[in-house]
Structure 1
Amino acid sequence: MSDVGDCYGNDGRYSQCMSATFGWAVGGEPYDYPADVGFAIGTPDDPQYVRIEIHYSNFENKQGIKDSSGIRISYTPELRPHDCGTLMVGVFTFPIHFIPPGSEEFRSYGLCDTRMMEDMLGRPIPDLTVKSFLLHGHLTAYGVRILHYRNGTLIGSLGEDKKYDFNFQQVRHFPKDLTIKMGDQIVVECTSNTMDREGVTFGGPSTLNEMCAGFLFYYPIVPIAACWSFMDIQYITEALGLERGETIMDAVMNIDSVEWDDESRAAAQKAVMDTNHLIIVENREGKRLNKTTPLPPISLPPPYHCEDDSLE
């Protein structure tokens, strides 16, 4: 099949193509898998077709622009020891994700419970060895970190950038391999600044919307595409003193009507930290398994101070 379609429309062919093979974002350089892993192609268990998804930004509405961009993937018949997979974690991309205007630092959270991956597949999954990571946010994000929990205790980081820049998004290798055991929890935290925005920034694929995600490159590969979450927006509207909406989209509209000030922003941040999350695990074909659970205890990152001798 070779065709053009709407990745987020009603065409069922595109919704059955969920697992990320590779991605490129602004500022990224070529990415090479580590020497001992590769992405397998050609066997019955491997993808039989791929979808390339391209996002465009043309804020000035310029006419007559022709695009010739794409991705070149190199392959080899010399198999490497391990077949690598990509797991997307973070905040489910949907307007339930919101950031109030006028926020100097507002933190968003996405949660993954890896035990649900075994529940989805109906079989045990061995420990996952993580080799590399990619952090992804849009224009309001300036800090992104992937927190790693085991038995409810924070044990380390699966990727962090305290000075995240949308214009520099690069896959990065870990100095040494990290291990994810089934039952571990993964929390993606994004810190945003919306001091230059007058309205609420909602989650979405547009550059002017916001995302909060991480991509983990690991082996051995399992047929899971994503493990992410969204928060209970109804809980947050009630915490802000708003009437409970009949639907989720009613609650989103209520968030958009808030007269934001320091007090309401603080109340929203507390509610984001306190509310339950609906975790969604998706397999390669887009089938989902859901579970509701609270965030594990979050330790806030220390403030970052720029060391510049010229300022003394």
Structure 2
Amino acid sequence: MLPRFICLLLLWGSSCFGFKSFQQRIPNGDMVPHSCKPNFLWHGLGHENELGGGARNSFGLDFAAAGLKWTKELCEKDSDGDGRTNGQELGDPNCTWKENSTPETNQGLSHPGVCEPHDSDLCKPKNTWLNCELESFKCDAIKSPEVKNLTIRFPNTSVPNFETNYFCMTFDLPTDGDYHVIAMTPVIDNVNVMHHILLFGCDSDKQGEASGPTACEMGSVQCNTLFGAWTVGSAGQCLYHEAGIRIGQKGIKRVLMQVHWNNPEMRDDYSDSSGMTLHYTPKLRPNSAVMLMVGQWYLEIPPGRERHAESAVCSKEDTHRLLTGPIKIVRALNHMHYLGREESLEIIRNEKRIAYVTNETTYSYDRPKFVTISPPLEIQPGDEIKTTCVFKSKNKKKTTFSGRGTSDEMCLGFMVVFPAENLLSRTCATWRSLSLTKLYRDLNPYGCNITNFFNLSHPDTRPLLEKLENNCKPFSICLEECKEVVKEVRKHPCLSGDVGKYIVHRAAQMFNGDFPRFLSLLQSCDVEMLKDKQVQRLTNNNESSGSVSPRRHLELIVSFLCVTLILLI
């Protein structure tokens, strides 16, 4: 009896968890959208349960009959009877895909085991098992009679026909007393475009900033205290029973709500009026809480990788800068996009990990896991917070960078912490190897005063622009005298190493002022200077060895010709 029980247990485990490996045996097996939950993926492709395990759907039965392999016969079959072959639904219309190769396309994918459209007359009888319900919200605290609620939402607003759209609007909060927000729930109007919502507390309660839906970036100068978040798959937030977010006369009086619309089809007929409901109480809790964001702001994920890791550290120097005393973590959320597979947040003290805040080994963008930490986990000044993200880019043909769109990637962690008064900043992140906390809070970090450097009228940096203007011509031929000036200017600490890369990255996002011109002058001789290096390299090799091997000589000539071709183009 016992061996039989063990066999059944193993079979059950394989059914529940084996689909991760099966995904790799199917073209685009980890990218198939849910049939009736927009912005969700179907992870257990061969099962009726979208997360895997349990009864198989029609495609799962056919996949099993094919020996759990992608065959030409399986590809040409229409498992769900909706008029499209399995290959057409999974991006392999010509049935040429082989395991560990890149599918012909990853656009227009659909589920080969769910008849679609799922609610059509043809498909309804076939899809009686299909579950289109979203997760329900549970928070007993909001049932108390004194708890009030306030819903803030956009008026009905047209969604621009771009893939990625960020819009912001500010709202007044109650000021007739002092309150703690103890829970937040989403009000989602258009599920086809909603990606996430962020709430930022404003330093000023004055009108004048984004009084209506306005295109925006993350937060603003006046509204930068992150205190609430919703993302696809979440039913809401229920705060720790000893902490709340302070609003009212002695707290946040005005909030900026940022909405991210994801419109990959770039349709122009969408509109949305989504928002959030804040549940708040006049019975103040012992502590006021805020949200702390950590992570890596620069990502460069090569294509075709089974596993690619990125990390960031909020260093002990950073926590000394940001914390005036210990803080406690009560809730946490990992955040990556669709390439994300694993993410962890660790607390390190005296060079040793003392605890994981989060440790998701099976991350799913569609199923965000708000981790409740009980008892609360303490962070002390001098501790480190390490963020590690693992991505899978097997089906990507191009490098993926960090960015706001779902086709870009992120590596961030959000933690609800208290007491709020012990935290001087709501962000502790890095850009490559740079601490953004150090970069913006120290007077002269890395030998570079970044504020002064971006102000090209400053007496320390104006001479750099003048030298370039007097010797270089942007978008034109490279002047010989420009090369030497560029070499000299690039010795400046603000243009060296990762600091220099960050400056150029920021400058590339500017469209007004002197800095775009400064950047164009600085880069006006890049190709010619690269060509000079190749020539010098060839000369040095000849002088040092007396001769160069035929193969090496050919490599140098090809390199030289490539640079010359770039120059001519």
* TM-score computed with the length of structure 2 as normaliser: 0.39
Highest Rg: 1 or 2?
Answer: 2
CA distance in 1: counterparts of 2:253 and 2:247, whole angstroms: 8
Alignment correspondent of 1:281: 437
Alignment correspondent of 1:154: 353
Alignment correspondent of 1:34: 240
Report the AA paired with residue 7 of structure 1: C
Q: Alpha-carbon deviation of 1:100?
A: 0.5
**1:228 has 2:228 as partner:** no
CA distance in 2: counterparts of 1:39 and 1:278, whole angstroms: 31
**CA spacing shift, 1:140–1:291, aligned 2, 3 Å:** farther
Match of 1:134 among 330, 333, 336: 333
Tell me the SS of whatever aligns to 2:262: coil
Q: Alpha-carbon deviation of 1:206?
A: 0.8
Alignment correspondent of 1:245: none
Q: Alpha-carbon deviation of 1:68?
A: 2.0
CA distance in 2: counterparts of 1:118 and 1:147, whole angstroms: 17
Match of 2:304 among 99, 102, 105: 102
Alignment correspondent of 1:143: 342
When you count helix as a share of all residues, which structure comes out higher? 2
CA distance in 1: counterparts of 2:290 and 2:405, whole angstroms: 26
Tell me the SS of whatever aligns to 2:314: strand
Tell me the SS of whatever aligns to 2:220: helix
Q: Alpha-carbon deviation of 1:177?
A: 1.4
Report the AA paired with residue 34 of structure 1: Y
**CA spacing shift, 1:209–1:197, aligned 2, 3 Å:** same
Alignment correspondent of 2:215: 6
Q: Alpha-carbon deviation of 1:60?
A: 1.3
Q: Deviations over 1:104-157 (max 9, x none)?
A: 11001121025434435xxx6121111110110001001010021111222221
Matching of residues 54-133 of structure 1 within 5 Å: 54-92=259-297, 96-119=298-321, 125-133=324-332
Tell me the SS of whatever aligns to 1:116: helix
Gaps of 5+ in 2: 1-206, 447-569
Gaps of 5+ in 1: 232-276, 293-312
CA distance in 2: counterparts of 1:17 and 1:113, whole angstroms: 26
CA distance in 1: counterparts of 2:261 and 2:381, whole angstroms: 37
CA distance in 2: counterparts of 1:291 and 1:28, whole angstroms: 39
Match of 1:218 among 401, 408, 417: 417
Match of 1:22 among 228, 243, 252: 228
CA distance in 2: counterparts of 1:279 and 1:83, whole angstroms: 27
Report the AA paired with residue 138 of structure 1: H
Q: Alpha-carbon deviation of 1:61?
A: 2.0
CA distance in 2: counterparts of 1:114 and 1:37, whole angstroms: 26
**CA spacing shift, 1:147–1:230, aligned 2, 3 Å:** same
CA distance in 1: counterparts of 2:253 and 2:424, whole angstroms: 14
**Equivalences, count:** 234
CA contact (8 A) 1:134 1:170 kept: yes
Higher relative contact order (CA 8 A, sep 6+): 1
Report the AA paired with residue 304 of structure 2: G
CA distance in 1: counterparts of 2:437 and 2:281, whole angstroms: 32
CA distance in 2: counterparts of 1:132 and 1:49, whole angstroms: 24
CA contact (8 A) 2:223 2:256 kept: yes
CA contact (8 A) 1:117 1:224 kept: no
Q: Alpha-carbon deviation of 1:30?
A: 1.8
Report the AA paired with residue 16 of structure 1: Q
CA contact (8 A) 2:319 2:382 kept: no
Q: Alpha-carbon deviation of 1:172?
A: 2.0
CA contact (8 A) 2:245 2:289 kept: yes
